[in-house]
């Protein structure tokens, strides 16, 4: 679900803002998008209500990231008994004018797959970013 729609509490809004600032720090030439999903019935059908989705867009196609835009989906497990929400992983994908170029998941092997893949330095930056995002959402206060 769009990050802008998930900011339903002060704590969650603060963590989303922290991730936004992290994107601006780690990928300074990128523009953050807190509403990457269109608001239409077909798109809504595929949205995971237990995720926070955001994107970032480069001014042009990034050679090092091999994409123009990246979609980041922070996946959660919600324990109905304790009312705790815990980040369980991140799914990411890079897109350009030809469609999806690569995908990445922290759920298993932290490996990139796809048509074209980011340069090793860009992969390392994205992996470090994902690690920090998981830490942000799993820190207890």
Taking the C-alpha atoms of residue 103 and residue 9, their distance in angstroms, rounded to an integer, is 30
Which pLDDT belongs to residue 6?
Answer: 77
Q: Has residue 43 got a pLDDT over 90?
A: no
54 burial (CB, 10 Å; 0-12 / 13-18 / 19+) is buried
For residue 31, give both structure tokens: 């523009």
For residue 35, give both structure tokens: 């509403």
Q: Has residue 50 got a pLDDT over 90?
A: no
Q: 10 — phi, psi (to 5°)?
A: -60, -40
Q: What is the pTM of this model?
A: 0.87
Instruction: Please state the domain count of the chain.
Output: 1
Confidence of residue 68 (pLDDT cuts 50, 70, 90): very high
Domain that holds residue 38: 3-138
Give the rounded percent of residues in the chain with a pLDDT score beyond 70.
91
């Amino acid at each position: 679900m769009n990050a802008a729609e998930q900011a339903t509490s002060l704590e969650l809004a603060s963590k989303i803002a922290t991730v936004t600032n992290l994107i601006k720090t780690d990928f300074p030439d990128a523009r953050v998008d807190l509403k990457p999903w269109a608001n239409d019935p077909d798109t809504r059908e595929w949205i995971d209500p237990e995720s926070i989705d955001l994107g970032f867009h480069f001014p042009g196609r990034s050679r090092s990231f091999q994409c123009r835009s990246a979609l980041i989906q922070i996946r959660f497990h919600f324990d109905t008994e304790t009312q705790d929400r815990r980040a369980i992983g991140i799914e990411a994908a890079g897109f350009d004018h030809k469609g999806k170029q690569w995908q990445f998941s922290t759920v298993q092997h932290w490996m990139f797959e796809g048509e074209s893949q980011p340069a090793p330095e860009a992969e390392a930056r994205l992996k470090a970013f994902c690690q920090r995002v998981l830490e942000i959402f799993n820190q207890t206060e």
